[in-house]
Amino acid sequence: MAIAISARSLTKSFGRREVLHGIDFAVEAGSVFGVIGPNGAGKTTTMRCLLDIIRPTAGEVRVLGVDPRKGGPELRRRIGYLPGELFLEGRVTGRKLLAHYEAVSGPVPAGRINELAERLGLDLDRHTRKLSKGNKQKLGLLQAFMHQPELLVLDEPTSGLDPLVQQEFHAMVREARHRGQTIFLSSHVLSEVQQTADTVAILRDGHIIAVESVSGLREGAVRRVRITATGITAHDAVALLTGVPGVGKVEVLESNGAVTLSALLEGPIQPLVRILGSLQLTDLVLEEPDLEDAVLKMYSAQPEEAQ
C-alpha cells in the first residue's frame, strides 16, 4: 500500500517550548486518517508542518513522497488545506476569492465550484467578511476540495457547521476517498472522526499516544447497559451482573418495585445476554459502543485534561 504521508521523529519547538516531541505516523494513500486530541496537543502544528507553513525542528516528513520543505508550489498544488482558524476578511465575494485560489492552485473542473457551493448551501456572491463563521468554513472547505487534490489536510473541518452541513461534509469525504484521494483530518472530538476515518491517531501534549483503526477502537470500546427487571431484589441483580465477565460499574438507579440498573460492558456481549435471559426484563438498552470513552481511557493518565 502506498504511503501518502509519513512522519518520523517529527519534532517542533517554538523557542524553548517543544510542542511536538518526535511523533511518528504514516497515512496510507486513499485512506481517511483522523487525528484527535485536546486543544494544544499539536494537531495544528503537525498539519502546518505538512504544508511547509512552519518548519520542523527535527525529524523527517514526506508528503506524497516529497519533503514539504523542498516540494514547493508543485507539491502544494496537489494538496487541499483547510486551516484550523479560517480568517477571510477581504472585501471580495466568495466567487472572486475562489477564482484567485484557482488561479494559484488550479485547475478546477468546470461547474465544480457551483456544484459544491450548492451542496453546502453557500452564497458565493456575498462579501467574505460578511459571512457567518459557518459560511466562512464552507468557503474554506470549498477552496480545499475544489481542485480535487490528491491529499486533503483539514484542520477541524466541521467546526461551526450545522449538523446537516456536517452530514454533507461527511459525504464529501467519502466521495473523495472513493475517488482515491487521501484525507488527513483533525478534531478534538472522536465522534466526528469515527464516522469518516479508517484510522485514528490520538495526540496528546505533543506525543502520539495511540494509533488505532476505528474498528479496533470499537472492539476495545465500552458499551453502556441499562436494564429494568421485575421479580428480583436490587441486591441480587447487582450480584448477578457483577459476575458477568467484562461488566463493571454496576449502579442501582431505581429499586421500588422494578429494579433499574446501569453498568458498563467491555468485551463480548454474549455472556451478558445469557445472564439477562434468566431475568424478567421490562426494558433493555445496550448502547452503541462509545469510542469517546475508549479514547478517554487512553488519555486517562490525567483524565481531567482530556476534555
Partner 1 sequence: MKTTLPLFRRAFFDTWRSTLAWAAGLAAAAFLYLPLYPSIGGSALMQDMINALPAEMTKALNYDQIATGPGYTQATLFGLIGFLLMTIASVAWGAAAVGGDEESGQLELTLAHGVRRVQVVLERALALLLRVLILAGMVFVLVSLLNGPSRLGIEPGNLFGAAVLFAGLAMLSGTAALCVGTITGRRIHGIFAGAAVGVLGYVFNAVGRQSQDVEWLLDLSPYHWAYSNSPVANGADWAAAGWLWGIAAALVALAAVALERRDVGA
Binding interface with partner 1 (CB under 8 A): 14, 48, 51-55, 72-74, 76-77, 79, 81, 83, 85-92, 100-107, 140, 143
Angle value at C-alpha 11, between 7 and 16, nearest 5 degrees: 170
Outline where DSSP puts E strands in 174-273.
182-187, 199-204, 207-213, 222-230, 247-254, 259-266
Q: Closest by alpha carbon to 23, among 56, 51, 53?
A: 56
Distances (CA, A) of 195 to 75, 187, 214: 29, 12, 9
Q: How far is the CB of 178 from partner 1 (least distance, A)?
A: 24
Which C-beta is closer to partner 1: that of 74 or that of 304?
Answer: 74
Which C-beta is closer to partner 1: that of 72 or that of 180?
Answer: 72
Q: How far is the CB of 166 from partner 1 (least distance, A)?
A: 22
Distances (CA, A) of 93 to 88, 157, 274: 10, 21, 63
Which C-beta is closer to partner 1: that of 77 or that of 218?
Answer: 77
Which C-beta is closer to partner 1: that of 86 or that of 241?
Answer: 86
Size of the chain, expressed as the number of residues it contains: 307
Read off the C-alpha cell for 114.
457551483
Q: How far is the CB of 149 from partner 1 (least distance, A)?
A: 10
Which C-beta is closer to partner 1: that of 73 or that of 257?
Answer: 73
Which C-beta is closer to partner 1: that of 153 or that of 197?
Answer: 153
Which C-beta is closer to partner 1: that of 7 or that of 82?
Answer: 82
Q: How would you list the strands of the sheet with 199-204, edge to edge?
A: 79-82, 151-155, 182-187, 32-36, 199-204, 207-213
The one-letter code for the residue type at 18 is: E
What lies within 8 Å, CB to CB, of 237 at 6+ separation is 229, 252, 259, 261, 279
CB hemisphere CA count around 293 (13 angstroms): 14
Q: How far is the CB of 99 from partner 1 (least distance, A)?
A: 8
The one-letter code for the residue type at 210 is: A
Q: How far is the CB of 194 from partner 1 (least distance, A)?
A: 27
Q: How far is the CB of 196 from partner 1 (least distance, A)?
A: 21
Q: How far is the CB of 228 from partner 1 (least distance, A)?
A: 53
Q: What are phi and psi of 175, to 5 degrees?
A: -65, -40
